Each structure stands twice: as C-alpha cells, then as structure tokens.
Structure 1
Amino acid sequence: MTEILEKYIPQASVPAVFALIKSHKVHLKIVNERVTRHGDYRKMGNGQHQITVNASLNKYRFLITLVHEVAHLEAFLKYGHSIKPHGLEWKRTFQILMLPFLRPEIFPTQLLPLLARHFKNPKASSDTDAKLSLALKQFDPENDKNYIFEIPHGSHFRLHNGRIFKRGNQRIKRFECIEVSTGKTYLFNPNAEVEFLK
C-alpha cells in the first residue's frame, strides 16, 4: 500500500496516511477522473469503508481529498449518521486530521498560509475556496482549460458535457452565464474550469 500511496501523495505524508487508512480499515480505490467530484466515502453493504479518489489529482489535492473523505468516516463513527455531511462535526474532524500534514515537508511553503486560512473553516470542497484552488492548480499538469473568470465578458465556453454558455456579469462571487441552447441563466464559481471558444 505504501508504494501505491507514494505515487499519489507527498513522500513525507505517506506514513501518516498509511496509518490513517490502516486504523480505519479503509478500502482505498483510486479511479479515473470524475468531473463532478474529487473523491467520496461510503460504507459498503458488507460493513467495509470505501474511499474513492480521482487518480488525476495532483499530489497535494489528492492528499487533501483523501483526508477529507477519512474525516467523513471518522465523523460518522464518532457522532452517528444523523450529522450533516459537511457540518460542524465533520469540519472539526477534518481540521484535527489535517493539522499534522500542514508542514513544509509536505506542502510547498506558498500553499501553507492558504491552507491555514482554509482550515479555519473548511468548506465542502477546496474548489469553493478560489484562492486555494488557484494555488493548487499550479501543480496540475498543463491542460487547455480556462477558469470562468479568465473568459472575457460575452464570450462563449463549453463544459465537459458539451453544453455551451455565454459568460455574463459577475455577482458577488459567482458569474452569471447563459446556456446558449436554452437561454437559462446559471451561476458558476469563478474557478470552474471550462473550454474557451475563441
């Protein structure tokens, strides 16, 4: 298992992550990219705990996602299944589990202040923290995608599913975008990755 983890997470984090997986008896499944989520946790019918993480994530995002999912498992075990999936119990659990990893041996020093700020009140997804998401993206392999905020006002872009939108005005944090085929308005996070149609 440690050899597999070494391919996906920072080297200095492997022993602690392996201990987390072993102590919780987690079946870790590394899968091809799913666009809608980085990872998930589920209790299987046989009582086993399964955590799934996208193989395409960079090592820092992979580590955050894996600990995020272990926090779901631990929060449910400690507080019961009636808690909100990303409620206070999960937030506290995620903070406690993540704290030992917030070190320069594991994360680049430019990420540490952003991670410290994020973990004061962790969100359901690190993607909703625009500054952290942008900082993590610099460690991704090159791709042909743009962020919504990089798309010029009035320009068109395509989603992974082929739907085409026209970028509109920015509200407080999100961007109004009109689906070309239906005329319906949708709100997008500024750091949603899309294909710019020039």
Structure 2
Amino acid sequence: MIERVAALLLACGCGAALAEVPETFESKRYDVHQVSGMSLLEALNQATPIRPEGQPFHGYTDWRVHWNYRYKVQADGLCALTVVNVRLAVTMTLPDLKQSTSEGATQFARYYPALVEHEEGHRRVGQGAARDVAAALGELPPMYGCALLEQEVARTAGAIIERAKRENKAYDVRTRHGCTQGACLIH
C-alpha cells in the first residue's frame, strides 16, 4: 500500500493558518497457507494473529491521532494556543495468501479486495477524527490560565477520539465486520 500524506496541521494564534499534516501508513501482513482439505476460512482463521477476545479476524486497522501544541500568555493575560500539530498514524494488518488450492485462490481474489475496502473504512474514521481534532483545537479561544487551556485541549481532543472509537464500533456493527461489503467467507 502506498503511504499517504494527507491530514491537517493548524498553526493558530492571530489567525488560523492551514498547513500539511502527515498521515503515516504501515501495512503489516501475515502469511496464510491453505492446503488441500482445508477451506480458505479455516486457513485464514488458523493464520491470523488478530484475535480480540479469542475471536479470529482477518484484517485490522489501528489508527492513532497524536497532537501537540504550544501556547503563550498574551498581553491581556489570557493564555492562547500558538501552534497546534496533529498527525495520524495508521497500521493495517491483512492476510497474504502464500499457498492455496485453485478454488481457494479464486475465493481469496474476491474476498481480499472487500476486506481491504472494509479496513479502509476504519482508516477513514481515523482520518475524520484527526481532522476533527485539528479543527477543534484550532478554534479554542484564549483562556484565563494555561492550566485551564491544557485541560480544555485534553478534554476536547479526548471527546473527539472517544466519539470516533464509538463510530468505529458502529461501522463494524453496520457492516457486520465487513460481511455487507463482501468480506465474508462461508465454511
């Protein structure tokens, strides 16, 4: 997969100025070996390292939004953000079919693009969260006290991340973990 650079950095102060924000993307693969007498589903379930609560999943997208900032006390005594940096780190884990039957290879050729599309949906949730954090922090007004400003940064960004985590779970419920998108295998 191609590394994409597209997120949002805000430099704020006298006026918000938009700049580029990096999104780092890492693709992780795990090897799958399907042999005669084994279904593709069995091979994937056996090979996957993705096992939340013991349940095997064939793909996983982990995204993390990172932010840092600088502030200063203005002449009027208010504490204002001067720079806000937001970046997104995405790691997508997917299967790599190394060995299979011809039927398994045909099945995987249909299944894999749907699995990737499902995982890209999780990535888009992370991208939206990064944009929302950048926008919200860029709009924070100066406050009476830098400790109060720091608390508001943490509260604002944290609330956006929590909302995005709920959105991630709702996406899985809505798509039945990708089944409605074609990322489903039947034994």
- Scaled to the shorter chain, the TM-score interval is 0.3 to 0.5
- Give the number of the structure with larger relative contact order, counting CA–CA contacts within 8 Å between residues 6 or more apart: 2
Bigger Cα Rg: 2
Q: Which has the higher strand share?
A: 2
Q: What's the TM-score, normalizing by structure 2? A: 0.32
Q: What's the TM-score, normalizing by structure 1? A: 0.31
Q: Which has the higher helix share?
A: 2
